[in-house]
Structure formats: structure tokens, C-alpha cells
Amino acid sequence: LDGTYDEANAFALILQGKIPSTKLYEDEHSYAFLDIQPQSKGHSLVISKWSKARNILEVEDEALAQVMATVKKVAIATRKALNPDGIHVAQFNGAPAGQTVYHLHFHIVPRWVGGPTGF
Ligand code: 5GP
């Protein structure tokens, strides 16, 4: 759970436009885009555009509030677009918990009855 923010992590490069991404939503503080290896159709990720938090343990309250407001917007838009039966909102801290990219992010994963339940 310890470590320093890597300025060249994949999501930092996405924010800089150095790695392409499929944008779903953006505002002054947050960015939402499709996951490159989706667990289901419409799997997306939401990140802060300014916080250099690696995980939820170190995020500023303001950045967290901004990101969660966007998580809610994207979840609502995902329901409207895809009519899933459920939606996972998930966030991992540390490699043993499944974290692979060390820029705080929230997964929004649509789920359907009979489909994978995930993670
Ligand atoms: P974690 O396991 O760290 O919570 O999730 C990282 C997520 O980021 C994974 O679901 C992975 O597919 C996604 N991901 C990793 N690199 C990229 C990338 O370059 N572009 C996009 N769109 N998603 C990525």
C-alpha cells in the first residue's frame, strides 16, 4: 500500500493524451473512459484529473467527492444505455487486492442475470 506516485502510470499517460482512450465523460476534475479489458460490455473507469493519489488511503477528500459524483453520473448513464440488471462499483488497493494501475480509479461494471458476477 506504500509507494510513490509514478508520473508515467497508464492513467497519467491517458490524461496527457499519450495513450488513447475512449472517453465517456469529462469535467474539470474527473475523467471517465472505457476499460481496455472489459469484464462486461460497458465496463468503465473513473479517475481524478489532478489528484496524485495511488489509492483510496491517500486521496484528498475533495478529489474523492469529485470522482464519486462522476461515478454516479456514469452509473446512471450506463443504466440508460445498456439496461443492466446490476452494476458493480469497485476499487482495489494494493497488488494482493488486484490493483494493477497505481492512479486511484473506480470500476463501473454492468452486470446481467446469468452473466459473470466478476472480480
Ligand atoms: P485495477 O486492477 O488496477 O483496479 O484495474 C486496472 C484496470 O485498468 C484494468 O481493468 C485494466 O484493464 C485497465 N487498464 C489498464 N491499462 C489500461 C489502458 O491503457 N487503457 C484503458 N482504457 N484501460 C486500462
Q: Is the pTM of this model over 0.80?
A: yes
CA 68 to chain centroid, in Å, comes to 10
Is residue 35 within 6 Å of ligand 1 at its C-beta? yes
CATH value at residue 75? 3.30.428.10
Q: Is 43 a catalytic residue?
A: no
Within a domain: residue 58? yes
Per-residue pLDDT at 118: 87
Which atom of ligand 1 approaches the CA of 34 most closely? Answer: 22
For every one of its 119 residues, what pLDDT tens digit does the chain have, with 9 covering 90 and above? Answer: 999 999 999 999 999 999 999 999 999 999 999 999 999 999 999 999 999 999 999 999 999 999 999 999 999 999 999 999 999 999 999 999 999 999 999 999 999 999 999 87
Choose one of 6, 45, 104 to mutate for the ligand 1 pocket test, by most ligand atoms within 8 angstroms of C-beta.
45
Q: What is the span of the domain harbouring residue 67?
A: 10-111
Within a domain: residue 119? no
How many angstroms does the Cα of residue 85 sit away from the middle of ligand 1?
23
User: Cα separations (Å) of 73 from 2, 4, 27, 117?
Assistant: 31, 30, 11, 22
Within a domain: residue 4? no
Tally of domains in the chain: 1
